[in-house]
Structure 1
Amino acid sequence: MPVSPATLSDVPELVNLVNSAYRGESSKQGWTTEANLIDGQRIDIENLTIQLNDPQATILKNTDEDGKITGCVYLQKRGNKMYLGMLTVSPSLQAKGLGRRLIAAAEEYTLKAGINTITMTVITSRHELLNWYERRGYQKTGEIIPLVIPQQFGILKQPLDMFILEKNV
């Protein structure tokens, strides 16, 4: 199935997918888990709805042949750059090319929006994830910022910093 924009009716399924891929026991099936670094949920229905209602943002989703959402990526225009976040692949489907497919769709969406640069943040201790993005052309800008999140989106188990990465598409 093609990657397409998510709609408000997708929000409950997206929330379940994102939380299952980033936090809790189910996330440990995949390699993108943050469960060893952050407790609690990654997103909730209210805030994902706010993100989808933002005219500067979209969430691209991938669905399987049964219509189940198997992956997503959040994109938000920020000035002359596109911010990419919440790249999510179902833990049972990770390492099968879906993440690369979502990144390619995000880059295509960015170019169609008239933007040439994608920016993102990655936790500095997530070496395997950093390497994955670097293999796709994303580079550290040299800027490091602290990870600060509201308690409703997780509880840090330790102080964490994030690299800012960019790619010209």
Structure 2
Amino acid sequence: MITKAIIADVSELNKLINSAYRGESSKKGWTTEANILEGLRTTELELTETIANTKNTILKFTENNQIIGCVLLVEKEPQLYLGMLTVSPELQNSGVGKKLLQQAEIHASELGLSKIVMTVISVREELIAWYNRNGYVATGAREPFPASDVHIPITNQPLEFIVMEKRIE
């Protein structure tokens, strides 16, 4: 079941997102960033602030009263920004991510927004290919990877974001 996340979900969302992106637990899935970044992917404070902002929606995918996936959607007219697509590492390749993408498209349509945009770290070739298979295309635009004390690069590869988009009917 996919529903809108609320403040009461923050702790569970935080654990899920960090387990899927960073650290040993993330290596059980194919979308890990543990080989290129360390540190946290997000914090409870960041998620609380995100949910409190009315331009943001976090959709959660719940099964057996447990959040197993989520996605951040941000209204940035004339488009919807999609970020932090997360599926529990043990459940990746089960269709949860695709269902969240489909719900994001419905959300964009309901808001009257004609495209969804996202950024993906350029070295994440397998992830870029997955988004391509789901209708997203690289725009050619690039954005610098943010320097911060949260996202700590542990690779010698230069990191930057590529911008991808999908037009919504």
TM range (shorter): over 0.9
- Map of 1:33 onto structure 2: 32
Q: Which runs of 5+ in 1 are unaligned?
A: none
- Map of 1:131 onto structure 2: 129
- Map of 1:93 onto structure 2: 91
- Map of 2:19 onto structure 1: 20
**Which one-letter code corresponds to 2:5 in the other structure?**
A
Measure the CA separation in 2 of the matches of 1:43 and 1:6. 15
Between the two proteins, the alignment pairs up a number of residues equal to 166
Measure the CA separation in 2 of the matches of 1:71 and 1:34. 17
Percent of residue pairs identical: 45
Deviation at 1:99, TM superposition (A): 0.5
Deviation at 1:157, TM superposition (A): 1.9
TM value normalised by structure 2: 0.96
Is 1:167 matched with 2:150?
Answer: no
The secondary structure found in structure 2 opposite 1:107 is helix
Measure the CA separation in 1 of the matches of 2:14 and 2:125. 26
Is 1:8 matched with 2:26?
Answer: no
2:27 and 2:34 in contact (8 A); partners too: yes
**Which one-letter code corresponds to 2:32 in the other structure?**
T
Q: 1:48 to 1:149 in 2, by over 3 A?
A: farther
Deviation at 1:79, TM superposition (A): 2.1
Measure the CA separation in 1 of the matches of 2:9 and 2:27. 24
Q: Return structure 1 stretches of 4+ with deviation > 4 angstroms.
A: none
TM value normalised by structure 1: 0.96
Measure the CA separation in 1 of the matches of 2:147 and 2:54. 23
- Map of 1:156 onto structure 2: 153
Deviation at 1:149, TM superposition (A): 4.4
Measure the CA separation in 2 of the matches of 1:145 and 1:32. 20
**Which one-letter code corresponds to 2:153 in the other structure?**
L
Two-structure CA RMSD over aligned residues (Å): 0.9
2:121 and 2:159 in contact (8 A); partners too: yes
The secondary structure found in structure 2 opposite 1:17 is helix
Deviation at 1:146, TM superposition (A): 1.4
- Map of 2:119 onto structure 1: 121
- Map of 1:78 onto structure 2: 76
